[in-house]
Chains A and B, each alone.
Chain A
Amino acid sequence: MTALPTVGPGTPPRADPAAAPPPVVPDTVISDEIRVVGMVWERELIRYVRTRTRIVSGLIQPVLFLFVLGYGMSGLVGTTGGFNFRQFVYPGVVAMSVVMTAMFSALSIVWDREFGFLREMLVAPVSRVSLVLGKTAGGATVAAVQGTIMLVLAPLVGIRLTPLLVVQMIALELLMAVAMTTFGVFVASRIQKMESFQVVMQMLLMPMLFLSGALFPLNGLPGWLTVITRLNPLTYAVAPFRQAVFAAQDLSPAAQARFPTNVTLFGFTLSIGMELAIVVVFAVVFFVLAFRGLSRTE
């Protein structure tokens, strides 16, 4: 049976016809955007504090690396000028915990997508820059906190902490965490499915960590591996971190030669300033990519 709509579109009730047209509100209000950054940041912290298992598991893996690898390798590497492999690897392991926490924070966007909360954020009348900024600030804060918790392990492996060193380490942790969070947000914005998450963690994060100089010195590697380590943004974040830690220890020249901390690029030895500048550039590039990645969604 073919039935034509015999019922016409009923007329809706009208409000006062003289109603004023809606006010034209400016589309972006800076103070509102700052509140958004703060709120997204706060949510990251709340979620971090609320998931104790994450804090604990975020500690266990680096501690394992520090002690298992530290003692295991010490026999092989030996002690040079009173300095051993545990002391060498300590800054790398702290960096590792910062990086893993930052990545985990950022990749929680994949969860947010799965559970729908990402949508709540993306449809809001706010700038996506604010959302990425908040996420970055949150991930970086959480990662720096996790890295700072690792400082309590320093005395156990014979690393001397000075107040200056603690300040330097926290500052470097923050920078490293910012770069890794923006990188993570960028990666997460490309992941549509939760199953891909594990794959990314293993295929990306682990090689990045191993090829950053965090766990072994970067000199004397075969050419192709050297190229990869130099393309790895983490390399430029780990080196200054280790240099800061070593600067606070009284290293003998022999130990310095045995455990080099510099990164060389095309035969030049980079200064700490140059390394940090490279990290900043990476962070900015990843930030833009992360923003664009999130803008693509929907």
Chain B
Amino acid sequence: MKTDLASEHERSGVAGDASLAVDVHGLTKRYGELAAVDGIDFSVGQGEIFAFLGPNGAGKSTTIKMLCTLAHPTSGRATVAGFDVSTRAKSVRRHIGLVFQEQTLDDQLTAGENLQFHAVLYGVPHREVEARISRVLELVALSDRRKDLVSTYSGGMARRLEIARGMLHTPKILFLDEPTVGLDPQTRALIWDDIQRLRREEGVTIFLTTHYMDEAEYAERIAIIDHGAIIALDSPDVLKASVGTDTVAIETSDDEAALASLQRAGYTVERTGSGLTAFVADEETAVGPIVAATGVPVRTVRAHRPTLDDVFLHFTGREIRDQRGEAVPMMARARGARRS
């Protein structure tokens, strides 16, 4: 019965599980000797915000290119919006929106003209084009710049226009390759607002890549990719929990006494180099009670919650922010390479 259904699907070019936006099995892309993407498996549910997180050269763009039918997989299988990327390329393209890592606007045209062009390329019915253009410009707050040439846009505005354009033909899945790379923090925040608004109001599935750790937090699930392989995949909270709990580190005038009173108060506490470390469920709410329960004067308090940096470090033994994808010794981290 099940096999019948599967072969039926294959014949019509529709393969895999239709309830999944993206379904990938053993996907591999080789460039000569190099396996840019090395047998990855994952799936993305409809309406999810799913992030690929990894350093430059990890294989993020290559994965996106295969999913968007711009590169042929060396082996493995992928379905996007229910269509096999190898056999139903055109159908896949019709159902996805795509924002490349590099800009692809015509800056001698206005924003409206760029969108008009896109609407025609993607067969948006003539009578819907106007409404749709107004709608997507509204979604990224560029309605008042519609008649301006793209050459007058800032980098952030151009990016947001590209996101709007990617949504114009009402795709099922929007692929964003490093949507915030090279932008200032405010603009990055705006783009994240856009992305969340799109998902909320248009119900689109979002697949994005980034090498910014802090950004991946916004995603519902994250696949951490390194050297072409997925090394961890789950929600940010689960990933962070997997590398340890929140901690509150304190230094007191009398660590011995403090240790005793904290243990009496029910905390799990350990002696560490220069003081004590308490392991807690939520560092933010634990700081106050811990200080109060110490019973002796507290000199310093440092609360820490595991970040995705810690997750990446945990699984790879190196820092993600190294741009060439080479190992950064853990020393660098100890010396305080931590950002913000």
Q: Which of B41-49, B139-147, B183-191, B275-283 contacts A (4 or more CB under 8 A)?
A: B41-49
Min CB gap B317→A, angstroms: 5
What distance in Å separates the Cβ of B238 from its nearest Cβ neighbour in chain A?
6
B42 touches A9 (CB 8 A): yes
Is A29 touching B121 in the complex (CB atoms < 8 A)?
A: no
**Which of A39-47, A136-144, A163-171 contacts its partner?**
A39-47
Interface flags, B211-251, vs A, CB<8A=1, else 0: 00000000001000000001111110011001000000000
Chain A residue numbers with a CB within 8 Å of B106 are 43, 47, 112, 115, 117, 120
- Asked if A39 and B117 make an inter-chain contact with CB atoms under 8 angstroms apart, the answer reads yes
* B298 close to A (CB within 8 Å): no
* CB atoms of B14 and A8 under 8 A apart: no
Quick check: is B196 within 8 A (CB to CB) of the other chain?
A: no
- Give bound CA distance, A23 to B48, whole Å: 22
Q: Is the CB of B121 within 8 A of A22?
A: no
Which residues of chain B have C-beta atoms less than 8 A from A6's C-beta?
242
Instruction: Report the separation of the CA atoms of residues A1 and B50 in the bound assembly, to the nearest whole angstrom.
Output: 28
* B255 adjacent to chain A (CB < 8 Å): no
With a cutoff of 8 Å between Cβ atoms, the chain B residues found around residue A250 in the complex are: none
Q: Which of A10-18, A56-64, A190-198, A259-267 contacts B (4 or more CB under 8 A)?
A: A10-18
User: B231's closest neighbor in chain A, by CB?
Assistant: A5
Q: Across the interface, do A116 and B117 meet the contact criterion of CB distance under 8 Å?
A: no
A169 to B108, CA, bound (A): 31
Interfacial chain B residues near A24, Cβ < 8 Å? 12-14, 91
Interface size (A, Cβ < 8 Å)? 46
> Which of chain B's residues have a CB closer than 8 A to the CB of A116?
100, 102-105
Min CB–CB distance B6 → chain A (angstroms): 12
A22/B314 contact (C-beta < 8 A), A12-B44, A39-B121 known:
no
With the chains together, A84 CA to B340 CA distance in Å? Answer: 79
How many angstroms from the CA of A8 to the CA of B109 in the assembled complex? 47
B94 touches A15 (CB 8 A): no
Interface of B is mostly: mixed
Are A15 and B238 interface neighbours, CB within 8 A?
no
Whether B70 pairs with A27 at a CB distance below 8 angstroms is no
The residues of B that contact A39 with a CB separation of less than 8 Å are: 116-117, 120-121
Prevailing SS type, chain A contact patch? loop
B95 within 8 A of A: yes
Do the beta carbons of B70 and A123 come within 8 Å of each other?
yes
Return A25 CB to nearest CB of chain B, in Å.
6
Flag A119-135 by CB within 8 Å of B: 1 or 0 each. 11101111000000000
| Contacting residue for A126 out of B42, B105, B121, CB 8 A | B121
B45 touching A9, Cβ below 8 Å? no
Decide if B113 is an interface residue (CB 8 Å cutoff).
yes
Identify which of A3, A12, A50 contacts B45 (C-beta below 8 A): A12
Contacts of A203 in B (CB 8 A): none
Q: Is the CB of B93 within 8 A of A123?
A: yes
Q: How far is the CB of B95 from chain A (nearest CB, A)?
A: 7
Q: Is the CB of A9 within 8 A of B47?
A: no
Given contacts A14-B19, A14-B45, A22-B82, are A7 and B12 in contact (CB under 8 A)? Answer: no
Bound complex: CA A35 to CA B242 (Å): 53
B107 at interface, CB cutoff 8 A: yes
Q: Which residue of A lies closest to B9 (CB)?
A: A21
Task: Determine if A3 and B314 form an interchain contact, defined as CB atoms under 8 angstroms apart.
Answer: yes
CA distance A83 to B44 in the complex (A): 77
Nearest CB on A from B57, distance (A) = 20
Chain A nearest CB, measured from B115 CB (Å): 11
Q: Does B98 interact with chain A (Cβ within 8 Å)? A: yes
Encode contact with A along B6-24: 1 for CB under 8 Å, 0 otherwise: 0001001110001110000
Q: Is B289 an interface residue (CB 8 A)?
A: no
Q: Closest chain B residue to A121 by CB distance? A: B121
Q: A55 on the interface (CB 8 Å rule)?
A: no
A148 to B48, CA, bound (A): 56
Contact A22 B19 (CB under 8 A): no
A25 to B68, CA, bound (A): 17
Q: Indicate if the CB atoms of B94 and A25 lie closer than 8 Å.
A: yes
- Establish whether residues A51 and B9, one from each chain, have CB atoms under 8 Å apart when the complex forms: no
Find B122's partner among A22, A25, A28, A125 (CB 8 Å cutoff): A125
* Inter-chain contacts of B109 with A (CB < 8 A): 43, 46-47
Known: A7-B234, A20-B18. A12 touches B221 (CB 8 A): yes
6 contacts between A and B (CB under 8 A): A3-B314, A5-B231, A25-B91, A43-B106, A117-B104, A125-B93
Given A10-B238, A14-B19; 7 other pairs, CB 8 A cutoff: A5-B230, A7-B232, A10-B221, A13-B45, A16-B19, A27-B90, A119-B100
Q: Which residues of B contact A (CB under 8 A)?
A: 9, 12-14, 18-20, 41-48, 50, 68, 70, 81-83, 90-91, 93-95, 98, 100, 102-109, 113, 116-118, 120-123, 126, 221, 230-235, 238-239, 242, 314-317
**Which A residues form the contact surface with B (CB < 8 A)?**
1-3, 5-10, 12-17, 19-22, 24-25, 27-29, 32, 35-36, 38-39, 43, 46-47, 50-51, 112, 115-117, 119-121, 123-126, 298
